[in-house]
Amino acid sequence: MTGQFLIIDADDTLWENNIYFERAFEEFVAFLAHSSLSPQAVRDVLDDIERANARIHGYGSLNFGRNLTETYRHLVERQVGEDDLRTVMGFAERILDCPMEVIPGVVETLEYLSARHNLTLFTKGNPDEQRLKIDRSGLGVWFAHAAIVKEKDAAAYRCLVTERRMDPNRTWMIGNSPKSDVNPALEAGLNAVFVPHAHTWILEKQEIVPGAGRLETVDSFGELKRLF
């Protein structure tokens, strides 16, 4: 394939991310110790709070901590104490201290792709937190450009393509999220590659909506070498 513009997602595409949030949630459920609500029922409340707050505050571990705190205040069956609130925030704050787990096959695949195509890393969330993860991962060396935005919607893709002077017909978005990677890229007139991840955040899941561009699905990041 002749030179392409490959826009690549970061969290849960290049490295593990959501598993740490899931572990923090499990700690939260144990600490909450609700007398009647199941973990799934607690999760449903948290999902609603996260869905509403993401539009205002965005993403990242700090905002996750705020959402856990709001969930705690809403569901707790005992008097709320400052020590309890600090404990709840601590579940989220420790996410930043988790080791970077680059997904198997990513390094050698990025090395292969970067020699043949133009690579852009495209991620959303807290800019400082995302830059820290990029630095800690050591994967930034394979990318010609990295962009961090509040939300990855069709408008964000159109803006990125225009700013980087990408040819839409030769531009592909690669990622694990139908909501943030595949659907908005297709809506913006780009091509997309869906790389499923077993632990994709529930709020990132959607039915994939066909668009004008091509859509490919691979089982793993390493399979991109077969496509490109």
Whole-model pTM above 0.75?
Answer: yes
Structure-token match 């680059």, residue found:
102
In this predicted structure, the answer to whether residue 188 has a pLDDT above a threshold of 90 is yes
Residue 27's pLDDT is 97
Residue 107's pLDDT is 98
Give Dmax over CA atoms of the chain in angstroms: 63
Which residues lie below 8 Å from residue 142, measured CB to CB, with a gap of 6+?
110, 111, 113, 114, 119
- At 133-179, the pLDDT tens digits run 999 999 999 999 999 999 999 999 999 999 999 999 999 999 999 99
- At 84-95, the pLDDT tens digits run 999 999 999 999
Alpha helices in the chain (DSSP H): 18-32, 39-57, 61-75, 82-93, 106-114, 127-137, 154-163, 183-187, 224-227
In this predicted structure, the answer to whether residue 98 has a pLDDT above a threshold of 80 is yes
Residue 57's pLDDT is 84
| Residues 59 and 90 both lie in one domain | yes
- At 15-70, the pLDDT tens digits run 999 999 999 999 999 999 999 999 999 999 999 999 999 888 889 898 999 999 99
Structure-token match 């069709």, residue found:
154
| Residues 145 and 82 both lie in one domain | no
In this predicted structure, the answer to whether residue 76 has a pLDDT above a threshold of 90 is yes
Three-state DSSP class for residue 152: coil
| Residues 82 and 121 both lie in one domain | no
Residue 191's pLDDT is 98
Three-state DSSP class for residue 79: coil
CATH of the domain at 220: 3.40.50.1000
| Residues 220 and 114 both lie in one domain | yes
Range of the domain at 160: 5-15+101-227
Structure tokens at 174: 């690669």
Counting Cβ atoms within 10 Å, is residue 191 exposed (0-12), middle (13-18) or buried (19+)? Answer: buried
| Residues 132 and 199 both lie in one domain | yes
| Residues 184 and 206 both lie in one domain | yes
